Amino acid sequence: MVGRRTVLQSGLAAAGVISMPYLVRQATAQSLTGFDPFPFSVASGDPTQDAVVIWTRLARSINEFTPVAAGPVAAEWVLATDPTMTNILRQGVAMAQPEYGFSVHVDVQGLAPDRHYWYNFRVGGSASPIGRTRTLPAAETASSRFRFNVVSCQHWENGYFDAYDGMKDDDAAFVLHLGDYIYGVGRGGVRNHESRKAPATLAEFRARHALYKTDAALRRAHETMPFIAVLDNHDALEFNTDDPAELRRRAAAYQAWYEFMPSRLAVLSMSPQMAIAREVNVGNLLRLAIPDTRQFRASHQVCLAGSDPKFAFGVYKKPCELIDEPERSMLGRPQEIWLEDRLRSSAAKWNAIGSTVMMTPFDMDHDGALYRYLAAWDGYPSSRGRILDQIAQGRVANPISLSGDIHSSLVSSVVRKVGDSPGQAVMTEFVGTSISSAWPEPLAKPMRDALPNNLHLGYFDPAQRGYMRCTVTDQHWTTDMRTIDQTVRPGGQTTTSASFIVESGKIGAQRV
């Protein structure tokens, strides 16, 4: 694994046990000349109160994948307390391994809480751009005001990712990415994928990630804020399958995701399994649990027989008996227990679940029949019920669900079933719209038409792209729906189109 060796060497170098030049000489005899080895710039991610992962990936250019060297390459890294990189706090050498596409992940530890840091990498005579990152507040300092942003779903062909530029003055501690960082199949759009084909091999997934990393606004976001990212269906295509070809494709998807993401998650080379779930603690103010909603779910390719495949592209289905089976789970039982434990053991003032897909029950109608979106939590009512029971029985403080996937802004009170009064709701949910992916009218209309029968929903906007800005204090949780005027060309302007507030101790959001 990259991490262990990196940490060991950087630790030794930082401690002065082994001098850096010695490591550099041992690692690589060749120098990288004739090209800038940092075409993907830099990024950071998975911050804690005393650590953050810094990332880069060595390459000949954004679309040239001939290995940069025959063997591992030593990349020097430096982390400083100022943007001019004068006050150097930590430095070391990390190995860019050919097996991991010459990506570099360094888990820089021993940092101070709630601080900005600047960092860059050097190989031979070349230096990367300087990135800025930030640690999380410590327990004792967390109570004043904490802000982070939530994004999802960035289809390259649907639009430019300039909503990220709307975060420029937010002073957000991190960006929570709830999945669909890349998309597979393309049909063309305001710009085209490098191939019409959905990626299947490691080389193809690398090419797709490389393309996405060239979006200018996404690059600026990575250079200035840490990301906490989780995978959804489009990142790794079909998850719940035993087909060997699909498993190879999933392994390639996981590995490429890791190689291109500033993440602490570890992947084994070409493994179809990956540990994705994790939690983020912001002192005693906020606990954010991020479960893996794809790898362990029971199949959502169900209830096909009784459903109209032409309605809403076959995305919404008529629920069949199977849906209510008690053992049916979105997370798998071990992970359900993990999530319940994270929620019930929390002493945090606010407790959020970062779910790739919507938790709120939502009933739609097609030709007089009940239809639901079974790939979200509506396809796993027993699993959802167990989690809501745990929240209610455990008196989990201020439970909030943050999700994405439906490329729409939505605010709701999570009831157990449609028809329950909003007063019976167990948690508040904010669904964030997409960075660029569209929610076409055949998908939006059935939802819009169903609003009068889903009284627990307070807001629904499938038309606008953007992100959510969450500001958390002891007393209030505020979510701003930040939306962009256009994504068909670079330069879209982002404004706040709606704001919602949850008072501590209450379930449900009020529009402000």
- Contacts with Fe ion by CB under 5 A lie at 153, 180, 437
38 or 239, CB closer to Fe ion? 239
With CB atoms as reference, the residue minimizing the distance to Fe ion is 153
Cα angle for residues 7, 10, 11 (degrees, 5° grid):
75
49 or 483, CB closer to Fe ion? 483
Q: How far is the CB of 153 from Fe ion (least distance, A)?
A: 3
Q: Which helix (H) or strand (E) holds 203?
A: helix 202-212
470-503 residues labelled b (16+ CB within 10 A) or e (exposed): bbbbeeebbbbbbbbeebeeeebebeebbbbbbe
- For the chain, the distance separating the N- and C-terminal CA atoms, rounded to the nearest angstrom, is 48
Q: How far is the CB of 393 from Fe ion (least distance, A)?
A: 33
Sort 247 into a burial class: Cβ within 10 Å, 0-12 / 13-18 / 19+: middle
* Contact present, 59 and 71 (Cβ < 8 Å): no
153 or 472, CB closer to Fe ion? 153
3-state secondary structure of 65: coil
Sequence letter at residue 460: F
117 or 183, CB closer to Fe ion? 183
* Contact present, 322 and 347 (Cβ < 8 Å): no
437 or 479, CB closer to Fe ion? 437
**Six token digits for residue 51:** 């650590």
Q: How far is the CB of 293 from Fe ion (least distance, A)?
A: 13
3-state secondary structure of 490: coil
The Cα 76–Cα 126 span in angstroms is 10
283 or 432, CB closer to Fe ion? 432
166 or 184, CB closer to Fe ion? 184
**312 backbone φψ class: left, alpha, beta (φ>0; ψ -120 to 50):** left
Q: How far is the CB of 139 from Fe ion (least distance, A)?
A: 35
Q: How far is the CB of 321 from Fe ion (least distance, A)?
A: 29
413 or 437, CB closer to Fe ion? 437
* Contact present, 102 and 30 (Cβ < 8 Å): no
Chain centre distance of CA 481 = 18
Q: How far is the CB of 407 from Fe ion (least distance, A)?
A: 6
346 or 437, CB closer to Fe ion? 437
Q: How far is the CB of 74 from Fe ion (least distance, A)?
A: 38
Q: What are phi and psi of 157, to 5 degrees?
A: -75, -20
The Cα 19–Cα 402 span in angstroms is 46
**Six token digits for residue 120:** 């860059």
